[in-house]
Amino acid sequence: MAEEHRPSPAAQEPPAADAGERAAAERLFGERQDLAERYVAHLASSGIVRGLIGPREVPRLWSRHVLNCAVVEELIPRDAGVADVGSGAGLPGLCLALARPDLRITLIEPLERRVQWLDEVVSDLGLANVRVLRSRAEQAKGEVGEVDVVTARAVSALVGLLDITLPLLRGTGELLALKGRSAGDEIEKAQKKLARHGARSTEIVVAGEDLLAEPTTVVRVRL
């Protein structure tokens, strides 16, 4: 029996930010607001066609994805080196790069088609503070350079995430893992692994309380 052909999802028009989203975006991105809008346009078009974003996510690109990620910038010190693990569609790495040109960001992504898309978007937006590294996180330690902060979103549960992210810090720095309501349970299940990696502190913090209707929940692990 012949394999059923399923057409690729079609590109969509980028969603217009509502008044609250636009106000938050203007505060976060400042003079780079136009670049943030271009990034959202990439997500809604080639991001869908090439399978990085689901078509149903388009109406929520600003609220659930771009702004949800960008607010994490308030937790990152100035001029930090950031490694974004499993960057995928650039969430949160590209959002942080747009909000904070002072950061040096490496997007770590193992899949070639995603790396190609990230390269194209970084080039189009002219983001000099970003480089894209095709690698699995556990193999990237020798290539990623100096890292102060590791970020991750929707990569794995915390207990598995620790093994692939904390070694990038080389003994000092912090992991910022974007999580949801399961954050507390994930920390509880990861206690032995946290101790094994020498974590000094682990806490749940909230970013974007003054900007978003639904602030972002982050698990912060400090070495």
- Judge whether 111 lies within some domain: yes
Q: Is 201 helix (H, G, I), strand (E, B) or coil?
A: strand
Q: Give residue 128's identity as a one-letter amino acid code.
A: A
* pLDDT above 50: residue 164: yes
Query: CA–CA distance from 138 to each of 14, 44, 146, 162 (Å)?
Result: 35, 30, 15, 10
- Judge whether 27 lies within some domain: no
Place of tokens 């690698």: 135
- Judge whether 19 lies within some domain: no
Do 80 and 148 contact (CB within 8 A), yes or no? yes
- pLDDT at residue 3 in the model: 45
* pLDDT above 90: residue 151: yes
- Judge whether 51 lies within some domain: no
The CATH code of the domain that includes 85 is: 3.40.50.150
| pTM for the full predicted model | 0.93
- pLDDT at residue 117 in the model: 98
% of the chain surpassing 90 pLDDT: 83
Report the distance separating Cα 82 and Cα 45, nearest Å: 27
Average pLDDT over residues 19-26: 93
The tally of domains found in the chain comes to 1
- Judge whether 47 lies within some domain: no
- Judge whether 178 lies within some domain: yes
Do 214 and 181 contact (CB within 8 A), yes or no? no
| Predicted confidence band of residue 13 (pLDDT cuts 50, 70, 90) | confident
Domain span including residue 76? 69-222
- Judge whether 145 lies within some domain: yes
pLDDT tens, position by position, 24-82? 999 999 999 999 999 999 999 999 999 999 999 889 999 999 999 999 999 999 999 99
Q: Is 194 helix (H, G, I), strand (E, B) or coil?
A: helix
Q: What is the mean pLDDT of the chain?
A: 93
- pLDDT at residue 141 in the model: 87
- Judge whether 30 lies within some domain: no
